[in-house]
Structure 1
Amino acid sequence: MREKWENLSVYKKAMEIQQLVKHIIKAIENTEIDFKEEIEAEMTNHNLKYLMENSYIITAKIAGAADEDMLYDLKMEHAAIIRKAARELLIDSRGIEIHGYKDIEYLDLLRNEIDEFRILFAEWVKTFDCWNYMIDRWGLFNPPGINYDDPGS
């Protein structure tokens, strides 16, 4: 089962991002940042924590959605969480920059990697079989033409 996701381009890119995030966090932790206020230091620490968490979420959710037999709505739910986590990586990197981290080339590298990931992600999502589904009664991830209140499964 592990080979299913480890061989996916989107997973490999997510692992590269995860490693990059680890290096960025280490670099930031080893940098003296002149915070104007204590709240900036606290917010930067939160940004670093969320960078790591979101990089782990992305790889975990790709692995979970790689099961070919998984229903479409569940795959799409994983995909939505992955997208959210990737976008939060961008938000947190911007927060770190705003609060005084000056070596932004590392953050720019992360932004570029996420943009490459976005393309791989979009192509991967297109491979989901939308007709392997149960009706999503919440109405978010139904195939085209299927409504949350349709009779059926």
Structure 2
Amino acid sequence: MSELDQTYNLPIYQKAEQIFKLTEGLVHIVPADNEFLQETTVRFMMENAMIIPVKIAGAEAGDLYDLRMENAAIIRKAARELYVQAGSLRFEEDIKDKDYILLLRETIDEFRELFIDWVAGFDVWNYIKDSWGLFNPPGVNARDKDPDEDIPFNPNDFFGTEDDDDDDL
């Protein structure tokens, strides 16, 4: 099974796809003639619903703790915004079938539980220090010395070039 197939089969990814499909269904019952809702809430809901599975795939593709946590923060933000945006539609009189709203919000709650377990499974020992301090594993401070700085690295050796003249770039 390919890595992409493994990602698609993750319970959190499956739930994210479910959220996307429910969001698609929900935005179809928003009246097309309500330009305000179409240009704001509907657009933002679809953006958030699309971000979630994409960022899960991105986090799974890169195994570094700091990058996975950065994706997780974006996923959390998108899911929370989608939850609120869907909830705001409850107060729109033009929307008759409000069952979609409740169903989507319940699905986001289920997603949150999967999300907690997914994030807990990130490997805290596989990271590059985040000098901004946001996505470091527990116990790593932004002002700590970066252990990678002790590793001698010559880009010319790495890229196999002998030309030290970078003026041509």
Tell me whether the two structures share a fold, i.e. TM-score over 0.5: yes
Q: Which has the larger radius of gyration?
A: 2
Alignment partners' CA distance in 2, 1:93 and 1:64: 25
CA contact (8 A) 2:87 2:105 kept: no
Aligned AA for 2:54?
A
Identical counterparts, % of pairs: 46
For structure 2, which runs of at least 5 residues remain unmatched after alignment?
149-169
CA drift at 1:3: 1.3
1:64 aligns with 2:58: yes
Among 108, 111, 114, which residue is 1:114 paired with? 108
Alignment partners' CA distance in 1, 2:92 and 2:143: 48
Which residue number corresponds to residue 97 of structure 1?
A: 90
Alignment partners' CA distance in 1, 2:110 and 2:131: 33
For structure 1, which runs of at least 5 residues remain unmatched after alignment?
33-40
CA drift at 1:71: 1.2
Alignment partners' CA distance in 2, 1:139 and 1:99: 42
Among 52, 73, 93, which residue is 2:66 paired with? 73
Which residue number corresponds to residue 82 of structure 1?
A: 75
Alignment partners' CA distance in 1, 2:25 and 2:135: 36
1:2-151, aligned counterparts within 5 Å? 2-29=4-31, 41-45=34-38, 46-67=40-61, 69-100=62-93, 101-151=95-145
TM-score by length of 2: 0.79
Alignment partners' CA distance in 2, 1:112 and 1:15: 14
Alignment partners' CA distance in 2, 1:4 and 1:77: 21
- Range with greater deviation from structure 2 (85-94 or 98-107): 98-107
CA contact (8 A) 1:14 1:117 kept: yes
SS of residue paired to 2:21:
helix
Alignment partners' CA distance in 2, 1:113 and 1:121: 12
Alignment partners' CA distance in 2, 1:17 and 1:5: 16
CA contact (8 A) 2:55 2:72 kept: yes
SS of residue paired to 1:24:
helix
